[in-house]
Amino acid sequence: MKRQIPLIISFVCGIFMLIQFFIPHPGFISVYRGILNWARIIGVFALIIGIGTLVRLHFRRITRRSPGWFYSVVVFAGLIVTASAGIIGGTRGKLFVWIFQNINIPLDATMFSLLAFFMASAAYRAFRARTLDATLLLIAAVIVMFGRVPIGDFLWQAVAPQSWVDKVPFLPEQVAEWVMSGPNMAARRGIMIGAALGAISTSLKIILGIERSHFASSSQ
């Protein structure tokens, strides 16, 4: 029972959603709309689960006084203040918007902007033309980096002979665009087709109940 019913649910939902794609009849569509709504409602709970896991992790840290437990207190303080501000004051509430504008945005954006520095350091230290592959990669990267900012065209127009500039005033930009829409696009398309076949095969295995790794986490 515990094993069979989930497999049946997957199979029925999967097959229904697969064939409804081809059937525009309203009878099918109303069932389909029902399924979409159900998925959405379950989704609401799935969101809360993520928070539940987080709360559990930090709660344990605090009760066990594990190293850095003070930071877990910070997590809780942030969570409780923000959630109550938003739930009581509404999503356009003054405090809620204030927290978002002045804490959430700067923290998230700054955290990610650290990568600009890491990237520069990696560019200097790790991006070496050690192999033919790495060399090709670097050349393409430099072309795109140079061509996709105004200074590429600017330098080209300043340095290249005037007759060339007259012919192709935006050469760096155009070369970058060719790399993007030519070789880059071809490679990405190949990867995409391969990945699509992989996704179809995984989906089929889920519907047929052969692939069950998504149940694994629940039995842990």
Name residues contacting another protein, limited to 30-49 (CB under 8 A).
32-33, 35-49
**To the nearest whole angstrom, how small is the minimum distance from the Cβ of residue 190 to another protein?**
3
Q: Which of 59, 63, 104, 168 binds another protein (CB under 8 A)?
A: 104
What is the Cα–Cα distance from 84 to 86, expressed in whole angstroms? 5
What is the Cα–Cα distance from 104 to 81, expressed in whole angstroms? 13
Please tell me what DSSP assigns to residue 101. I
Non-local (6+) Cβ contacts of 208 within 8 A are 11
Q: CA torsion sign, 17 to 19 to 22 to 26?
A: negative
Residue with Cβ nearer another protein (116 or 162): 116
**To the nearest whole angstrom, how small is the minimum distance from the Cβ of residue 168 to another protein?**
11
Site membership for another protein, residue 29 (CB under 8 A): yes
**To the nearest whole angstrom, how small is the minimum distance from the Cβ of residue 93 to another protein?**
9
What is the Cα–Cα distance from 173 to 148, expressed in whole angstroms? 6
**To the nearest whole angstrom, how small is the minimum distance from the Cβ of residue 208 to another protein?**
7
Q: Which of 15, 59, 164, 168 binds another protein (CB under 8 A)?
A: 15
Name residues contacting another protein, limited to 187-216 (CB under 8 A).
187-208, 210-211, 213-216
Q: Which whole-number Å values give the CA distances from 67 to 57, 59, 63, 78, 210, in the listed order?
A: 13, 13, 11, 20, 43
Site membership for another protein, residue 159 (CB under 8 A): no
